[in-house]
Structure 1
Amino acid sequence: MIQGNFDCIAGRDVCGWAWSPGKPLEAQPVTVLLDGMVVCQGLANHHRPDLHAAGIGLGNHAFYLPLPEALTDGRTGTLTVIAGNPGQALGGTPVRITLPNNRFKPVAPPQVPPPLTLSICAIVKDEGPYLLEWIAHHRMVGVEHFVIFDNASTDNTTSLLSALARAGIVDHVPWPDIPHVAAQRPAYVAGLARLSDRCRWVAFIDTDEFLNPIDGRDVPAILADYDLAAGLVIPWRIFGSNGLLEQQDDLVIRRFTRRAAADHPLNRSVKTIVQARLVARPDIHTPSITDGSLIDEFGRVAGTQGHPSHHAVPDARKLVINHYFTKSKAEWARKRSRGQATETVDSSARLRPDEHFATHDINDVEDLSLANRDQLVREEMERLKHLISL
């Protein structure tokens, strides 16, 4: 007996889950049909924390199967998803559905530009040792304002954000945990409400993610190349621990200078800088938009490779995100103990699997692109400290 469901089409990926309780370690085959014709096949073998939290095996039963790109032109048809052998139709199918149109759709620029060009919206918890560097770095690459949600921090994060708010650098928003509600997405919705009329572009990123304009211009100058797009998807570059076991008294961008190669599968995830006025619903990686298209720096529409949150840009030349995912082994342990803001406090999936350190601790390529900017960042940190003292 197969259990499962067709959930949605994201980008050109048919998404859902399937498993057999009698064979919980076996990945089930999945076949997708459109108007009775097989259009793609694969396995339900991807991990989803919500499945794990719901007791569906170890959670490794999700599928993301890309439709042929030629089909994602807005056509309508009957979609059926079959899983198992012999196969059975999953819940939610067959269903009459209009496939997404992944052709680029330009948007008109705003009639009246808002006062700010670029802001960041983020949620933090116990990030006191890193906040000042992260804010200083982003001010140096063109970010004008920050909306930061403080998710029940217990270190000096709250006092630091309060001081920065008094200096006009950030909007500091206390954001306590609510039972049975994951904190991050509602925070992004509240952040968008604060920014939609004030800012042209907003980046939804975390404090272990550093925008890195590798072509030498600042970020707003790069965004000016994409006025006709609803948003720009920025590829990750995952940095490892550099072999460090303990935290050291130095900048993050100086301590961690080795990463996974640009074409490593870990670097298929993206974050988005989006035109605030065009966001229907913010999300962790790629938001839903009311008009236009999300594209990468080469104009390829997010979703044409599959799921829009997974979009490989190994040949990026303008802008990437340095993602300091692990830091040192000791810092990883503290990060893991804080839990993920994408999960509810009472969820068993709130703690990241400890093996994520080993799978993300990739140090194959030396990358000094941000390390070489450390003096500029230190100087900006001193200016921020002076503002706080005033």
Structure 2
Amino acid sequence: MFRFLSRRQITRLSLDPPKPRPDRAGLDVVLIVKNEERHIAEWARFHLLAGVSRFHVYDNGCTDGTIAELRRTVPPDALSVIPWDQKLRDGSREIHNQVLAYAHAVRNFGPSCRWMTFIDVDEFLVPKRAASLPEALEPLSNCACISLPWHMFGRSGHTEAPAGGVLENYTRRNPDPMSDAKGLRNFKMIVDPCRVVSMKVHTIETLGEGGTCNDRGQRFPMSARDSRAFYSAEAIQLNHYYTRSDAELRAKIARGPNLTTPDAEHLRRVMRKVENIEAGEVEDRSAISFLERIGARGLAGLP
């Protein structure tokens, strides 16, 4: 049933790259969000400290205080909020609302930034050695398309949501970002938006690139980024706090996916992924180490 439905969904969009402005600069983050009031401020503060210039937030029907928290946390000139509560179809085929938001951001906000990335509230971009994400990206200026593998964090033993933030409470992850286990190996990307020609949630094609780079600047065909030779998290690590607590995981499942999927199939896929994440976990304090390195631990509500 699900395979049949997937053939009736539009999950890839092609577009003409926008023209860059002469003064474009910085790293912009694109986010589509729904009801993340509890965690959005920590996520935004972390990425401000990591050097993000602007946040383009697509409001997918928030009914809680998510947007108010963002407005309290992010300076007004660094935040744009776009209403994005919709399910659109081309005839019988549903258009992936997240991909549509990403394509809109590239065309409308891409000309003013040097880099653009597309992540969720449960994903943190962590500079591993540099003092900021822009500094970490400086050696990668010849790469129009950088793929960062997921580092998948589980529940860290929490049944209910603990006091405090995500970073201090969830420090255990699956040890192998390149695992063949279902649902563990995937990527988010940092791109030059003025070279983007095609978008999916986890795959972005850029003009003239012929593939993608890892964070060492090594270029591979897109089809080869699943190989262990591609793996690197030396400059930037993508931490994906997929579950948070068990209670929050159950609420996440209840909200459903970005595309219309049968409930039983959605539950099965999520729980299979969780089992794989929590198999043989290792301790990972990379995000906290970054905050300590820049002298920001304990500041602005972060751990």
TM-score (norm 1): 0.64
Look up the match of 2:247: 330
Contact preservation (8 Å) 1:239, 1:362: no
Q: CA–CA distance in 1 between the matches of 2:122 and 2:287?
A: 13
Superposed CA deviations along residues 307-358 of structure 1, whole A, max 9, x for unmatched, are 65x45454531111011011111111111112222x13xx327835342322
SS in 2 for 1:216: coil
SS in 1 for 2:142: coil
Look up the match of 1:132: 41
Look up the match of 1:359: 276
SS in 2 for 1:336: helix
Contact preservation (8 Å) 1:280, 1:290: yes
Q: CA–CA distance in 2 between the matches of 1:186 and 1:144?
A: 22
Q: CA–CA distance in 1 between the matches of 2:45 and 2:280?
A: 26
Q: CA–CA distance in 2 between the matches of 1:141 and 1:166?
A: 15
Does 1:112 find its partner at 2:26?
Answer: no
Does 1:200 find its partner at 2:110?
Answer: no
Contact preservation (8 Å) 1:258, 1:367: yes
Q: Which has the higher contact order (CA 8 A, sep 6+)?
A: 2
Structure 1 portions without partners, runs of 5+: 1-48, 57-109, 383-390
Look up the match of 2:161: 247
Q: How does 1:212-361 map to 2 (within 5 A)?
A: 212-262=126-176, 264-265=178-179, 268-293=185-210, 294-303=212-221, 306=223, 308=225, 310=226, 312=228, 313-341=230-258, 343-344=259-260, 347-348=261-262, 351-353=266-268, 354-355=270-271, 356-361=273-278
Of residues 229-238 and 312-321 in structure 1, the stretch that sits farther from structure 2 once superposed is 312-321
Superposed CA deviations along residues 51-92 of structure 1, whole A, max 9, x for unmatched, are 163699xxxxxxxxxxxxxxxxxxxxxxxxxxxxxxxxxxxx
Q: CA–CA distance in 1 between the matches of 2:81 and 2:201?
A: 20
Contact preservation (8 Å) 2:33, 2:121: yes
Cα RMSD, aligned residues only? 2.8
Contact preservation (8 Å) 1:142, 1:219: yes
Q: CA deviation at 1:298?
A: 3.1
Contact preservation (8 Å) 2:27, 2:52: yes
Instruction: Report runs of 4+ in structure 1 exceeding 4 Å deviation.
Output: 162-166, 311-315
Look up the match of 2:98: 184
Structure 1 letter corresponding to 2:58: F
> Higher helix proportion, which one?
2
Q: CA–CA distance in 1 between the matches of 2:165 and 2:280?
A: 18
Count matched residues. Answer: 275
Contact preservation (8 Å) 2:216, 2:234: no
SS in 2 for 1:187: helix
Contact preservation (8 Å) 2:21, 2:111: no
Larger Rg: 1
Q: CA–CA distance in 2 between the matches of 1:188 and 1:55?
A: 21
Q: CA deviation at 1:220?
A: 0.7
TM-score (norm 2): 0.80
Look up the match of 2:15: none
